[in-house]
């Protein structure tokens, strides 16, 4: 361990990728980090609570009946390999499944998916499935690169920022910093969200639309833009294809007004603000992706940007805000059932052959493997979960968790999560600050994180664990992060020039970085898009049939996050400073709806969707839109009621809308 006074690190929580220092006794702010400039949200401020927590897994444990027995590493690792090989032998590669981690390093995810593929399966997935899988599908098709086109700090250069389906003020607070800088310069901010969130507080125009009507709104805006001749004709002509197929004449302001519940005048105003500004950005998140039409929603957002030519310049871009500290990286590394490393489609045999040669493999599997939601239904004999509490992060899995363990289940994590609790073997992993490697933030920024603390007990870095498992399977995979990164240079074109040296500099390096001296690429698509013909593809999409309310379920449930907690809560719920400020689940209800159903503030209520029931405390608040309710999904109750309807293109569950009813619990 180095004896340096303070060690630079990157926050393990969300994907903004804020930097700070870990010192011997605590933390210090990193004021020269290009994204957060020293600032941190409350979770970042509490990040160190995870490291020394008493709940940390300290040694490998095997389940015997209902008891956990401590075992040695060699016994545990032998067992992992044995069970994996047995499942392969008895039922073939289709009986194996792997869940990668959006919180583990790029090197770890790369090795993990490599093991899965060398064992013959594409059934490897990560939590991106429930987050930005529609972004991956839609932006890859339309722009060529499935990622944010501009860096976060670019927002300060925008003249108009259109935030749709994102509550960034709570979920990516540091992004709000840059939006406020734009406002200081006179930029206009439009926020489309059914709720009056803290993000909406920043808006010059808040469009409180009905849940699930985003395509109608955006098509309505494009309709206005085309009618008033505000489109960017030269951009459309020179840099896009497919514009001729865009017939949105149906989406008049009046019709869109009746679908969205917005005033026609506001739709027109939003369209004019966005189109006429010198540089406009679209920022979006789960409110766009977590729908059965999530892929179409993302497509609509990109259409709007392309029609106005607001892509490929500073301050003008499409910004999907990713969720986890390394979800972008886990996807870049191919920990996905539909992509190999470097965004090679599982159906692209020619591209996959490059990897086959690099890995010296005889053959590599083709075709989409099992995605996370499909795993409980499959006839699995072996499931290896690395760093994800899938039981608490996916409603379908949550409701049918016992089916995950039809075969042998290994969970590698830092805490005994609810997922680990049902496993057969639990492997203690090192946390982010106890190992080395790279993490890729939402803006494609690759940053090296150095070891600042010792892992507790016998917990080891995931990379070491995977390399030991691999060795027992007959694969020689290095446990050294720098060596793995060197192989990633060859496997992932956008990472070709990335090394510890440039990733370890202040602020890391933004991919694509094609060679070691390349400065990185903050703004994408400046000259051409990464599609085969270099043009972006405009694709018409239409307002779909909606999740409908009924007399039995007259309200719409919206699920989402709150600022003090993080995803399934395995980390944030163990942080006293965070838990005391947000201790329990509550359902946000508009006072008028509450009166309708006889609910008072603080009452215990039952909520029911057609998927299930849960109990929570009601909180009456004017910020909720009439006819809708809100539940934060950091608490397990929300999984009991969330929808399982899937967007077939991306396998994303429709987490943002579910028809429901509430009544006072007695």
Partner 1 sequence: MGKIYLDPERCIGCRSCEVACEREHGHPRISVDKVKDLAAVPVYCHQCDTAPCAAVCYTGSLRLDGDMVVFDPDLCTLCGLCFVACPFGAIELDSVIHRCDLCGGTPVCVMTCPTEALQLEDIDAITGSTRSRAAGVLAARVRV
Q: Is 46 among the residues that bind partner 1 (CB under 8 A)?
A: yes
Per-residue buried b or exposed e for 287-310, using 16+ beta carbons within 10 Å of the residue's own CB: bbbbbbbbbbbbbbbbbbbbbbbb
Closest distance to partner 1 from the beta carbon of 632 (Å): 14
Nearer to partner 1, 44 or 369 (CB): 44
Q: Are strands 509-510 and 555-560 parallel, antiparallel or unpaired?
A: unpaired
CB of 266 to partner 1, least distance (A): 19
Tokens of 210: 């009905």
DSSP one-letter code for 548: P
Residue 313 CA to residue 158 CA, distance in Å, equals: 10
Task: Say how many C-beta atoms besides its own lie within 10 A of residue 49's C-beta.
Answer: 17
Query: Tokens representing 604?
Result: 């215990």
CB atoms within 10 A of CB 177: 18
Is 31 a binder of partner 1 (CB under 8 A)? yes
- Least distance from C-beta 198 to partner 1, angstroms? 4
CA distances from 80 to 107, 385, 408 (A): 20, 12, 9
Taking CB under 8 A as the rule, which mask of x and - marks residues 155-184 in contact with partner 1?
--------------xx--xx-xx--x----
Tokens of 88: 């392969």
Minimum gap (Å) between residue 194 Cβ and partner 1: 14
Neighbours of 1 (CB within 10 A): 8
Site string for partner 1, 557-586 (x = CB under 8 A): ------xx------------xx--x-----
Position 29 contacts partner 1 (CB under 8 A): yes
- Nearest approach, Cβ of 583 to partner 1 (angstroms)? 14
The strand pair at 19-23 and 27-29 is best described as antiparallel
Q: How far is the CB of 37 from partner 1 (least distance, A)?
A: 9
d(CA 47, CA 426): 23
Residue 25 or 360: the one with the smaller Cβ distance to partner 1 is 25
Which residues ranging from 604 to 633 are in contact with partner 1 (CB under 8 A)? 621-623
Nearer to partner 1, 519 or 577 (CB): 577
Give whichever of 199 and 650 is closer to partner 1, judged by the CB atom.
Answer: 199
Q: In the complex, what is the shortest distance from the CB of residue 130 to partner 1, in angstroms, rounded to a whole number?
A: 24
Rg (C-alpha) for the chain, rounded Å, is 24
Interface residue with partner 1 among 19, 42, 253, 317 (CB under 8 A) is 42
Q: Does 479 bind partner 1 (CB under 8 A)?
A: no
Task: Using alpha carbons, select from 534, 489, 531, 529 the residue that is nearest to residue 513.
Answer: 489
Residue 331 token pair: 């996807």
- Give the x/- contact pattern for partner 1 in 504-543, rule: CB under 8 A: ----------------------------------------
The residue (of 493 and 591) whose beta carbon lies closer to partner 1 is: 591
C-alpha closest to that of 337 among 359, 367, 363: 367
Reported residue count of the chain is: 666
Q: Quick one: which segment of 30-38, 63-71, 141-149, 597-605 binds partner 1 (CB under 8 A)?
A: 30-38
Question: Interface with partner 1 includes 544 (CB under 8 A)?
Answer: no
SS3 sequence, 79-137?
A: HHHHHHHHHHHHHCHHHEEEECCCCCCHHHHHHHHHHHHHCCCCCEECHHHHCCHHHHH
Q: How far is the CB of 572 from partner 1 (least distance, A)?
A: 11
Least separation in angstroms between CB 29 and partner 1: 5
602 touching partner 1, by CB under 8 A: no
Residue 529 to residues 77, 241, 441, 524: CA-CA distances in angstroms? 45, 11, 21, 8
Task: Identify which range of 195-203, 353-361, 513-521, 646-654 contacts partner 1 by CB under 8 A.
Answer: 195-203
Q: Which one of the spans 38-46, 210-218, 238-246, 362-370 is the region binding partner 1 (CB under 8 A)?
A: 38-46
User: Which range binds partner 1 by CB under 8 A, 43-51, 312-320, 461-469, 599-607?
Assistant: 43-51
Phi–psi pair at 630, nearest 5 degrees: -135, 135
Residues 315-374 that bind partner 1 (CB under 8 A): none
For position 202 contacting partner 1 by CB under 8 A, the verdict is yes
> Measured over all CA atoms, what is the biggest interatomic distance in the chain, rounded to whole angstroms?
71
Comparison of 199 and 240: residue with beta carbon closer to partner 1: 199
Nearer CB in complex with partner 1: 40/270: 40
Site for partner 1, rule CB under 8 A: 26, 29, 31, 36, 38-42, 44-46, 169-170, 173-174, 176-177, 180, 196, 198-199, 201-202, 563-564, 577-578, 581, 621-623
């Amino acid at each position: 361990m180095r004896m340096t006074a303070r060690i630079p690190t990157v926050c393990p929580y969300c994907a903004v990728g804020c930097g700070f220092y870990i010192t011997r006794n605590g933390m210090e702010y990193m004021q020269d980090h290009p994204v957060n400039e020293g600032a941190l949200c409350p979770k970042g401020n509490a990040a160190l609570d995870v490291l020394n927590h008493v709940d940390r897994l300290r040694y490998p444990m095997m389940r015997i009946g209902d008891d956990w027995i401590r075992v040695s590493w060699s016994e545990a690792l032998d067992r992992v390999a044995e069970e994996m090989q047995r499942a392969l032998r008895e039922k073939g590669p289709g009986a194996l499944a792997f869940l990668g981690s959006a919180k583990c390093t790029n090197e770890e995810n790369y090795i993990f998916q490599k093991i899965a593929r060398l064992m013959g399966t594409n059934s490897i997935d990560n939590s991106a499935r429930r987050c930005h899988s529609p972004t991956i599908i839609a932006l890859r098709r339309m722009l060529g690169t499935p990622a944010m086109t501009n860096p976060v700090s670019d927002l300060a250069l925008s003249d108009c920022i259109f935030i749709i389906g994102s509550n960034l003020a709570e979920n990516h607070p540091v992004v709000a910093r840059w939006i406020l800088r734009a406002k200081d310069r006179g930029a206009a901010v439009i926020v489309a969200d059914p709720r009056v969130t803290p993000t909406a507080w920043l808006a010059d125009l808040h469009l409180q639309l009905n849940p699930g009507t985003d395509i109608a709104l955006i098509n309505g805006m494009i309709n206005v833009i085309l009618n008033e001749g505000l489109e960017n004709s030269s951009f459309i002509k020179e840099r896009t294809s497919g514009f001729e197929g865009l017939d949105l004449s149906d989406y008049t302001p009046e019709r869109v007004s009746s679908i969205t519940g917005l005033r026609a005048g506001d739709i027109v105003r939003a369209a004019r603000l966005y189109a006429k500004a010198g540089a406009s950005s679209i920022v979006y998140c789960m409110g766009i992706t977590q729908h059965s039409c999530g892929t179409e929603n993302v497509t609509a957002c990109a259409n709007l940007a392309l029609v106005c030519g607001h892509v490929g310049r500073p301050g003008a871009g499409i910004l999907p805000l990713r969720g986890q500290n390394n979800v972008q990286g886990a996807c870049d590394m191919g920990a996905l059932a539909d992509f190999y490393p470097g965004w090679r489609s599982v159906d692209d045999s020619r591209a996959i052959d490059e990897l086959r040669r690099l890995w010296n493999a005889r053959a590599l599997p083709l075709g989409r493997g099992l995605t996370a939601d499909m795993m409980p239904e499959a006839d699995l004999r072996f499931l290896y979960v690395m760093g994800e509490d899938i039981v608490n992060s996916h409603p379908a899995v949550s409701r049918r968790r016992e089916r995950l363990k039809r075969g042998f289940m290994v969970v590698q994590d830092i805490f005994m999560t609810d997922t680990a609790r049902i496993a057969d073997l639990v492997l203690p992993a090192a946390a982010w600050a106890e190992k080395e490697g790279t993490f890729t933030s939402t803006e494609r920024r690759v940053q090296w994180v150095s070891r600042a603390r010792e892992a507790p007990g016998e917990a080891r870095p995931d990379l070491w664990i995977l390399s030991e498992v691999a060795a027992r399977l007959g694969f020689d995979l290095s446990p050294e992060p720098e060596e793995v990164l060197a192989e990633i240079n060859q496997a992932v074109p956008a990472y070709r020039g990335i090394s510890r040296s440039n990733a370890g500099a202040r602020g890391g390096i933004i991919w694509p970085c094609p060679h070691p001296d390349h400065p990185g690429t903050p703004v994408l698509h400046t000259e051409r898009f990464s599609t085969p013909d270099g043009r972006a593809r405009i694709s018409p999409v239409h307002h779909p049939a909606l999740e409908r309310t009924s007399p039995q379920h007259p309200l719409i449930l919206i699920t989402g996050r709150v600022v003090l907690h993080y995803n399934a809560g395995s980390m944030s719920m163990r942080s006293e400073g965070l838990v005391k400020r947000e201790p329990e689940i509550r359902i946000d209800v508009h006072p008028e709806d509450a009166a309708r159903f006889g609910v008072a503030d603080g009452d215990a209520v039952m909520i029911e969707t057609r998927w299930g029931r849960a109990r929570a405390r009601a909180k009456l608040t004017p910020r909720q839109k009439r006819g809708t309710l809100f539940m934060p999904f950091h608490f397990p109750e929300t999984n009991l009621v969330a929808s399982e309807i899937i967007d077939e293109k991306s396998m994303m569950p429709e987490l943002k809308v579910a028809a429901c009813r509430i009544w006072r619990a007695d």
